[in-house]
Structure 1
């Protein structure tokens, strides 16, 4: 398959950690910001999507792509970017090669198994290879692990990746913005990811720009 080239391309991966709503909202924001998104979904991620989001996502890339776009359409969300859902063996897709891969990639949510595979350069699937490519090309890799507690093994893998230049952003939303719903917590985490990607958003109030937050230090 031929993919149109654009400067606004990004790789996104969903794996089997809890936190499917983070991944869905992040995809929505990227497409709304007119990005070309190469989405990789592990088989475990599909199980989590069904359990946490009620979404029975097809293992067929084209069908999954249509399902996701229909989901946003049903929610009345306009997306201007393009979506490509890739299978684990699509080795001729852009994310597999340093000469074509987007310079930015996010794994959200990131399972500890994926964390280990990326930290040790396993590259047994397109998802793992895509992350390896971003690291070797000195791009921007963000991993959003969702596990608790972390074992020494998990922490060592995170430290190894951090030393390689990756950004580790555990799914740990704050509460200082007085969240009223689960969606508020999801938005908080996705907003922090978008900040690191340099993508403008209005998902949450920024610290110091809201009077209530500014007054906290005076008490």
Structure 2
């Protein structure tokens, strides 16, 4: 997907908030406009893990309330290029897989799928039960890309920030957003 210039970032209440600023930084470096939606549980986990409010997250140009079904992400005519749910709870996964639009995160994901635009789900849960796996398969079959936040340790990250940046760069790869070669360690073989 060349030319991703505007996307939706949805933040739900799973652990893994350290990946969010890393992704936002890479998107800003590539001049990608980001509009955000955050669930109530996402607000709580963001505060707990990073000590931040959504408004303190850098580089989100516009926020929408999770209960605002009149917001632009609720319609395919708003022309977002893609959507990322990072981190994605298994509850959000279930809603998206089942086509249930209980909030703007779910509705925006549903719109993204119906418009056949890239939807990345960074599902964060372990261990996985059969229902989780079934929902992952249903989301995949609907067109979503499942990319759980699993760090690449073969890159020998020196700290958690580098680990998060490497994962965020992988999300950019999946979105067709080119990041500079120095941004991430890529497998070169042994």
Q: TM-score, normalised by structure 1?
A: 0.80
- Bigger relative contact order, structure 1 or 2, given CA contacts below 8 A and separation 6+? 2
Q: Stretches of 4+ moved more than 3 A in 1?
A: none
5+ residue gaps in structure 2?
Answer: none
Partner Cα distance (1:7, 1:157) in 2: 27
Q: Which residue of 2 aligns with 1:53?
A: 50
- CA offsets, 1:127-169, max 9 Å, x none? 1100000111111100001111011111100000111111000
- RMSD across aligned positions (CA): 1.7
- Identify which of 25, 30, 46 aligns with 1:28: 25
- CA shift for structure 1 position 7: 7.0
- CA offsets, 1:68-110, max 9 Å, x none? 34xxxxxxxxx6xx61111113323221101114131000100
- The question of whether the paired residues in 2 share the 8 Å contact of 1:101 and 1:133 is answered with no
5+ residue gaps in structure 1?
Answer: 1-5, 59-63, 70-78, 209-213
Partner Cα distance (1:68, 1:144) in 2: 18
Q: Which residue of 1 aligns with 2:144?
A: 166
- CA shift for structure 1 position 38: 1.2
Q: Which residue of 2 aligns with 1:114?
A: 92
Number of aligned positions between the proteins: 186
- The question of whether the paired residues in 1 share the 8 Å contact of 2:97 and 2:142 is answered with no
Q: Does 2:179 match 1:206?
A: no
Q: TM-score, normalised by structure 2?
A: 0.91
- CA shift for structure 1 position 9: 1.1
- Mark the structure with the bigger radius of gyration: 1
Partner Cα distance (2:65, 2:11) in 1: 12
- CA shift for structure 1 position 18: 0.3
- Identify which of 104, 126, 137 aligns with 1:126: 104
Partner Cα distance (1:105, 1:51) in 2: 24
